[in-house]
Amino acid sequence: MIDPATALRLDGRVALVTGATRGIGRGIAEAYVAAGAAVAVLARKPDELAETEAALTALGGRVITIAGSAGDPDAIDTAVARCVDELGSLDILVNNAAANPAMGLIVDHEPSAVRKILEVNVEGPWLLARAAWRVWMQERGGTILNIASIGGMRPSHAIGSYNVSKAALIHLTKQLALELAPGVRVNAVAPGLVRTDFARALWEPDEVGVSARHPLGRIGVPDDIAGVALFLVSDAASWITGEVYRADGGGHLV
């Protein structure tokens, strides 16, 4: 029987979260620390990493940070190794980091930009899952959570290459869930429009109008995704794998 008082606790577990210095990743890292987890953060900018480490430590967490891109194989191997060596395990992997250097018609996107999107959004999560499996999870189990997008479920204007990468990430989620069971659960969250710097071009020009088109009357905030991300890696979700949880304020209904 699940104890409601502890089902969402992560005490004694270690999570590696990519792109967790701001936005959705930061919200997830804060939620995990509040639930008792130690957290390793992989992100690119040293100044943001320093601020994040201080903030998460102030919340009472054991925290380390690693500077590097979530699409760089060397940075990935370093992050996984340091997570295990310095925090003692790697129980939870959250593939949150993403790139989108291309806007407009997909046929107008430069090949170099599309390659970057696929490198960070698809190859990176695969490499991280591969490294986590080989170094820790194959023998000891764990949970992997991919941050996808509703753009991976349906096409939309302006961000076609990004949407294609997230569709691939959704399928990767299901493939890994099948292959890594029963020891490792793999799920995804597909956020709708969330108020982050990353998505600023999509909401800032008309936030009031965009919010009105959501049945729940607003666009999302990082904590809206962090709550789902906490549930999916917790014991409360112990019989869930291969699922993609949409969190979009009801936007898919209209």
Task: Tell me which residues are annotated as active site.
Answer: 162
Other beta carbons less than 10 A from residue 17's beta carbon = 28
Nearest C-alpha neighbor of 164 from the set 156, 38, 213 = 156
Distance CA 44, CA 76 (A): 12
Half-sphere exposure of 195 (CA within 13 A, CB side): 14
Reading the block at residue 198, the tokens are 């990353």
Question: What does the block give as tokens for 173?
Answer: 């989620």
SS (H, E, C) the chain: CCCCCCCCCCCCCEEEEECCCCHHHHHHHHHHHHCCCEEEEEECCHHHHHHHHHHHHHCCCCEEEEECCCCCHHHHHHHHHHHHHHHCCCCEEEECCCCCCCCECHHHCCHHHHHHHHHHHHHHHHHHHHHHHHHHHHHHCEEEEEECCHHHCCCCCCEHHHHHHHHHHHHHHHHHHHHHCCCEEEEEEEECCECCCCCHHHHHHHHHHHHHCCCCCCCECHHHHHHHHHHHHCHHHCCCCCCEEEECCCHHHC
